């Protein structure tokens, strides 16, 4: 039993058993979650290496520790439900179905990247999988998320004359709670009955500022949503089964009611804010406490205990994930740099002056991007 | 058939016609629906299109600008009305960081076909926070287009083009011109972007302007012709991005003199840009350096006389033309 104490409202963490496996979810599906989480973890480990080798530049934020959130949320929604997130976005892209090579090549600044190397780590977009970015300014995606939900409803109801049941998930970090854009977005979502769920990936720190030092009512974030008439739930974001079950119910409620929702998704990032963060604002004890409750290990134990997979099976899965990520690096190394003609491409849809129009990235021109 | 209507009616006709034509087009903004428009631009539109397509917004410019951007990324065609472009400053992150860059950042995956429109420039003793001319601030950003009509005919034709444009368009109107009357055909027409209009022909000096100050330039040209015997060619740019440099250069090659009139401040402005481009293109044709007339480099004052003095008024334009013709 860990004696580690964190302020009220933080993720609990620590070595605890997972929830029982959800009834009605086929083993194949459970293994898919496990593999997706392993893939994100391996991908991010290799991302950090590639950053140190200077294959990746700029700002880079890895998702290690938070894998259960993206994977559980994707599992709880339908492919046609729009998603949008902030800059710690590799996990969302992979969970949504972007091939690892397009995600890695984007960070390598190569033409094969999802945005032809023009977006970088913070701007993962995938039209085929309804991922609307990857946004670099804290909180800026929250009004845009309201707009995605507005559009699904407008398309389905005003243009097609039917009833809409699409739900938008808009992810944000706990630091975005203090941006004006977030509060304007919640007010608009509440006012216009928009089917959007704001998922706060509350990892306890906005860069080096703990949530208690930056945010009022950190012990009970639901009051922020209550101020806008929006229902809130709290979810253990370090347990993919909890994420799936609670998000699934919440998303279905949103589908039925077309009312927005707010999720205090309690999680923890195992690494620094970005690649340059020495993590002096938290203790190594605290980190060890959360690492002991690693969401991937938690799911693995539950799957093994239930006989869904055995130890050799886990090894086979890990080998295939390692090979997939290695392949993504080889592919990204080999992908050409964007030609200089790309500089004036994709600025405007229309051609005029020095601008050469726009075209889709290679990713969307390939068969079977999943 | 043509009839005489107000600038605001022309704007409304453009929006209504496009909304009848394309169900993806909708209007949102402060007081656009129940109030019938803070300046009556959207009068009657709620009654015709209903509350799902003409949508009142709370005072949250950053929020509703972002909402429009999300809807545009999904393929809708939002028209976002700012009661004043002065209020767009609180939405700067959305309109400058998101709308014009989305296509580029997403590698061609998500465009942003949205129109932001509203009153720009001095409204009449509104003081410094409400009198912004945003053209010089915003025209700096690649990825957006900017239209700035000076009369009802252009207002309608340019706005219809803006609504059909696949890229984000910043559409700059003027509270001082909303009641301006002009001939507008009943038949449908569109005005392409990047085509300036010659408002007055003359062989002695080219005056280039955009939006409301085109009228100041026309007034100055009248006086210059009558009092000074100088015939000015007045060019109305109509759009700032794209800029119709060709029409301007053709005129300057004829007159050998150029005065640019821009209602924003001079430093790093649209006027400076036009002056620089004309200087590059017409280096051997110019008999004098390009002259610029701007608002004075001070916050907009409240007092009526000071506000008039600050604007690029006909007196300042006449003085600049006289200097360009070595008569000053």
Gap between the Cα atoms of B39 and B31, Å rounded: 9
Residue B1 is predicted with a pLDDT of 85
Return the CA Rg of chain B. 20
- Residue-wise pLDDT tens digits, B44-98: 999 999 999 999 999 999 999 999 999 999 999 999 999 999 999 999 999 999 9
Domain count, chain B: 2
Is A159's CB within 8 Å of B166's CB? Answer: no
Say whether both B267 and B234 belong to one domain.
yes
In a domain, B204, yes or no: yes
Mean pLDDT, to the nearest integer, of A319-333? 98
Whole-angstrom distance, CA of residue A353 vs CA of residue B193: 12
pLDDT above 60: residue A273: yes
Q: What is residue B209's three-state secondary structure?
A: strand
Prediction ipTM score: 0.97
Contacts of A358 in chain B (CB under 8 A): 103, 108, 111
How confident is the model over A245-253, as a mean pLDDT?
98
pLDDT band at A365 (very low <50, low <70, confident <90, very high): confident
Q: Is residue B14 part of a domain?
A: yes
Residue B191 in domain: no
Contact B201, B254 (CB under 8 A): no
Point out the residue among B70, B97, B105 whose CB comes nearest to the CB of A147.
Answer: B70
Average pLDDT, chain A: 95
CB B109 within 8 A of CB A98: no
pLDDT digits (tens, 9 = 90+) for B275-286: 999 999 999 999
The residue-averaged pLDDT of B123-129 equals: 91
Using CB atoms, which residue from A150, A158, A184 is nearest to B70? A150
Comparing alpha-carbon positions, the chain B residue that sits nearest to A189 is B67
CATH code for the domain of B208 = 3.40.50.920
The answer to whether residues B76 and B22 belong to one domain is yes
Q: Which residues in B254-265 are b (16+ Cβ under 10 Å) and which e?
A: ebbbbbbbbbbb
Cα–Cα dist A222/A14, whole Å: 24
Does the structure show a pLDDT above 70 at A3? no
Q: Around Cβ A156, how many Cβ atoms within 10 Å?
A: 15
B216 has pLDDT over 70: yes
Q: In terms of domains, do B25 and B173 share one?
A: yes
The pLDDT of residue A368 is 46
pLDDT confidence tier of residue B316, bands split at 50, 70 and 90: very high
| Contact yes or no for A347 and B142 at CB 8 A | yes
Contact A146 B70 (CB under 8 A): yes
Three-state DSSP state, A355: strand
Q: Give the count of beta carbons closer than 10 Å to the beta carbon of residue B58.
A: 12
Q: Is B173 a catalytic residue?
A: no
Angle at B87 between CA B81 and CA B89, to 5 degrees: 115
- How many CB contacts within 8 angstroms connect chain A with chain B? 165
- What gap in Å lies between CA A5 and CA B174, rounded to an integer? 60
Residues sharing a CB contact under 8 Å with residue B23, sequence separation 6 or more, in sequence order: A158, A159
| Mean pLDDT along residues A220-241 | 97
The mean pLDDT value for B121-132 works out to 92
* Within a domain: B132: yes
Mean pLDDT value across residues A261-285 = 94
Asked if B26 lies within 8 A of A154 by C-beta distance, the reply is yes
Domain end position, chosen among B160, B185, B210: B185
Helix, strand, or coil here: A189? helix
User: Looking at the partner chain, which of B24, B71, B105 has a beta carbon nearest the beta carbon of A147?
Assistant: B71
- DSSP class of B224: I
Given a contact cutoff of 8 angstroms between Cβ atoms, the answer to whether B46 and B55 are in contact is no
The secondary structure element, H or E, covering residue B197 is strand B197-200
pLDDT score recorded for residue A369: 42
Residue numbers in A near B113 (CB within 8 A): 349
Residues B282 and B168 in one domain: no
Same domain, B210 and B171: no
CA distances from A249 to A219, B189, B213 (A): 24, 52, 59
Q: Which of A148, A347, A352 sits opposite B104 (nearest CB)?
A: A347
Catalytic, B288? Answer no
pLDDT digits (tens, 9 = 90+) for A155-197: 999 999 999 999 999 999 999 999 999 999 999 999 999 999 9
Contacts of B165 in chain A (CB under 8 A): 350
Cβ count near A334 (within 10 Å):
11
Does the pLDDT of residue A314 top 80, yes or no?
yes
In angstroms, the CA B52 to CA B39 distance is 21
Last residue of a domain, one of B158, B185, B212: B185
Q: Mind listing the domains of chain A with CATH numbers?
A: 27-365 (3.40.50.970)
Q: Do residues B9 and B145 share a domain?
A: yes
Residue B131 lies in a domain: yes
Q: What is d(CA B141, CA B93) in angstroms, rounded to the nearest whole number?
A: 12
Evaluate whether residue B318 is within a structural domain: yes
B91, closest residue in chain A (CA to CA): A181
CA distance B89 to chain A (A): 13
Structure tokens at A202: 């509350």
CA distances, A99 to each of A370, B94, B270 (Å): 6, 29, 44
DSSP A297-331: HHHHHHHHHTTSS-HHHHHHHHHHHHHHHHHHHHH
Contact (Cβ atoms closer than 8 angstroms) between residue A34 and residue A291: no
Given B151, B185, B219, the domain boundary residue is B185
Predicted local distance difference test score (pLDDT) of residue A5: 75
Average pLDDT on A328-353 reads 97
Cβ contact (<8 Å) for A143 and B142? no
**Which chain A residue lies closest to B105 (C-alpha atoms)?**
A119
DSSP-assigned beta bridge partners for residue A235: A265
Name B169's bridge partners. B115, B145
Both B30 and B144 in a single domain? Answer: yes
Q: What is the mean pLDDT of residues A297-321?
A: 96
Task: Kindly name the residue from B130, B215, B291, B294 that is annotated as catalytic.
Answer: B130
Give how far A184 is from chain B: nearest CA, Å. Answer: 5
Residues B221 and B281 in one domain: yes
Closest residue in chain B to residue A84, using alpha carbons only: B70
Taking an 8 Å cut-off on Cβ atoms, the answer to whether B70 and A148 are in contact is yes
- By CB atoms closer than 10 A (0-12, 13-18, 19+), residue B22 is middle
Q: Do residue B71 and residue A82 have CB atoms under 8 angstroms apart?
A: no
CATH of the domain at B53: 3.40.50.970
> To the nearest whole angstrom, how far is the Cα of B100 from the nearest Cα of chain A?
8
Cross-chain Cβ contact A115/B107 below 8 Å: yes
Judge if B206 and B162 occupy the same domain.
Answer: no
Residue to mutate among B107, B112, B140, with most A CBs inside 10 A, is B107
- Do B259 and B120 fall within a single domain? no
B176 pLDDT more than 90:
yes
Q: Is the pLDDT of residue B301 over 90?
A: yes
Closest-approach residue (CA) in chain A for B76: A151
Q: What's the maximum distance between 2 C-alpha atoms anywhere in chain B?
A: 60
Q: Would B175 be classed as within a structural domain? A: yes
The domain of B125 spans 2-185
**H/E stretch holding A214:** helix A211-214
Q: How far is A315 from chain B (nearest CA, A)?
A: 36
> Could you please report the per-residue DSSP string of A65-123?
T-HHHHHHHHHTS-TTS-EEE-S--HHHHHHHT--HHHHHHHHTT-TTSTTTTSS-TT-
| pLDDT score recorded for residue A303 | 96
Of residues B151 and A3, more confidently modeled:
B151
User: Would you state the structure tokens that stand for residue A64, as one six-digit string?
Assistant: 């290690």
Which of B60, B104, B165 lies closest to A187 in CB terms? B60
- B192 in a domain, yes or no? no
CA distance B161 to chain A (A): 13
Q: What is the DSSP letter of B205?
A: E
Same domain, B34 and B115: yes
Q: Using pLDDT thresholds of 50, 70 and 90, give the confidence band for residue A1.
A: very low
**For position A367, what pLDDT does the model report?**
52
Active site residue: B6, B30, B61, B173, which one?
A: B61
Q: How far is B98 from chain A (nearest CA, A)?
A: 8
Average pLDDT over residues A83-111: 98
- Listed residue (B263, B293, B290) closest to B277, CA to CA: B290
B259 with B174, same domain?
no
């Amino acid at each position: 039993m860990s004696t580690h104490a964190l302020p009220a409202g933080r993720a609990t963490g620590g070595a605890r058993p997972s929830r029982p496996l959800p009834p009605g979810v086929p083993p194949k599906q459970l293994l898919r979650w496990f593999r997706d989480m392993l893939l994100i973890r391996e991908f991010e480990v290799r991302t950090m290496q590639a950053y140190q080798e200077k294959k990746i530049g700029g700002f880079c934020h890895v998702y290690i520790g938070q894998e259960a959130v993206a994977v559980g949320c994707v599992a709880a929604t339908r492919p046609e439900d729009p998603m949008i997130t902030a800059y710690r976005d590799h996990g969302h892209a992979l969970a949504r179905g972007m091939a690892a090579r397009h995600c890695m090549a984007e960070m390598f600044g190569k033409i094969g990247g999802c945005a032809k190397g023009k977006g970088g780590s913070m701007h993962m977009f995938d039209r085929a999988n309804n991922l609307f970015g990857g946004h670099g300014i804290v909180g800026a995606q929250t009004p845009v998320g309201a707009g995605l939900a507005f559009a699904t409803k407008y398309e389905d109801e005003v243009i097609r004359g039917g009833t809409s049941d699409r739900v938008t998930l808009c992810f944000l970090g706990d630091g975005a709670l203090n941006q004006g854009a977030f509060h304007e977005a919640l007010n608009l979502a509440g006012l216009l009955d928009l089917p959007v769920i704001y998922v706060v990936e509350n990892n306890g720190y906005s860069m080096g500022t703990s949530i208690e030092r930056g945010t009022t009512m950190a012990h009970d974030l639901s009051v922020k949503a209550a101020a806008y008439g929006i229902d809130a739930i709290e979810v253990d974001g370090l347990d993919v089964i909890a994420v799936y079950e609670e998000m699934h119910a919440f998303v279905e409620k949103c589908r039925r009611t077309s009312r927005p929702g707010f999720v205090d998704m309690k999680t923890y990032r195992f690494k620094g804010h970005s690649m340059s963060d020495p993590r002096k604002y938290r203790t190594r004890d605290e980190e060890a406490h959360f690492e002991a409750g690693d969401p991937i290990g938690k799911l693995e134990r539950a799957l093994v205990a239930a006989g869904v997979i055995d130890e050799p099976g886990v090894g086979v899965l890990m080998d295939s994930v390692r090979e997939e990520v290695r392949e993504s690096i080889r592919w990204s190394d080999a992908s050409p740099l964007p030609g200089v003609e790309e500089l004036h491409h994709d600025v405007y849809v229309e051609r005029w002056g020095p601008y050469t129009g726009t075209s889709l990235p290679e990713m969307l021109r390939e068969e079977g991007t999943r | 058939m043509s009839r005489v209507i107000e600038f605001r009616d022309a704007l409304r006709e453009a929006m209504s016609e496009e909304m009848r034509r394309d169900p993806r087009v909708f209007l949102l903004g402060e007081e656009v629906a129940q109030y019938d428009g803070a300046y009556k631009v959207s009068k009657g539109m709620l009654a015709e299109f209903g509350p799902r397509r003409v949508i009142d917004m709370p005072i949250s410019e950053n929020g509703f600008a972002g909402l429009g951007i999300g809807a545009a990324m999904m393929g809708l065609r939002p028209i976002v009305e700012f009661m004043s472009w002065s209020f767009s400053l609180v939405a700067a992150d959305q309109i400058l960081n998101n709308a014009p860059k989305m296509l580029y950042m997403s590698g061609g995956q998500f465009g942003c076909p949205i129109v932001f429109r509203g009153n720009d420039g001095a409204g009449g003793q509104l003081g410094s926070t409400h009198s912004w001319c945003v053209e010089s601030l915003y025209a700096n950003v690649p990825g957006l287009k900017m239209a700035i009509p000076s009369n009802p005919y252009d207002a309608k034709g340019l706005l219809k083009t803006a609504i059909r444009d696949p890229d984000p368009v910043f559409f700059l109107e003027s509270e001082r011109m909303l009641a301006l009357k002009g001939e507008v055909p009943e038949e449908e027409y569109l005005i392409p972007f990047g085509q300036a209009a010659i408002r007055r022909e003359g062989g002695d000096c080219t005056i280039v302007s955009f939006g409301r100050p085109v009228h100041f330039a026309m007034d100055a040209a009248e006086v210059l012709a009558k009092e000074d015997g100088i015939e000015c060619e007045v060019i109305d740019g109509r759009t700032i991005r794209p800029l119709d440099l060709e029409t301007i250069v053709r005129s300057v090659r004829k007159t050998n003199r150029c005065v640019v009139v821009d209602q924003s401040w001079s430093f790093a402005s649209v006027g400076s840009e036009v002056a620089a481009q004309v200087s590059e293109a017409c280096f051997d044709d110019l008999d004098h350096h390009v002259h610029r007339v701007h608002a004075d480099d001070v916050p907009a004052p409240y007092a009526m006389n000071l506000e008039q003095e600050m604007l690029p008024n006909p007196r300042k334009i006449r003085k600049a033309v006289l200097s360009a013709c070595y008569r000053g």
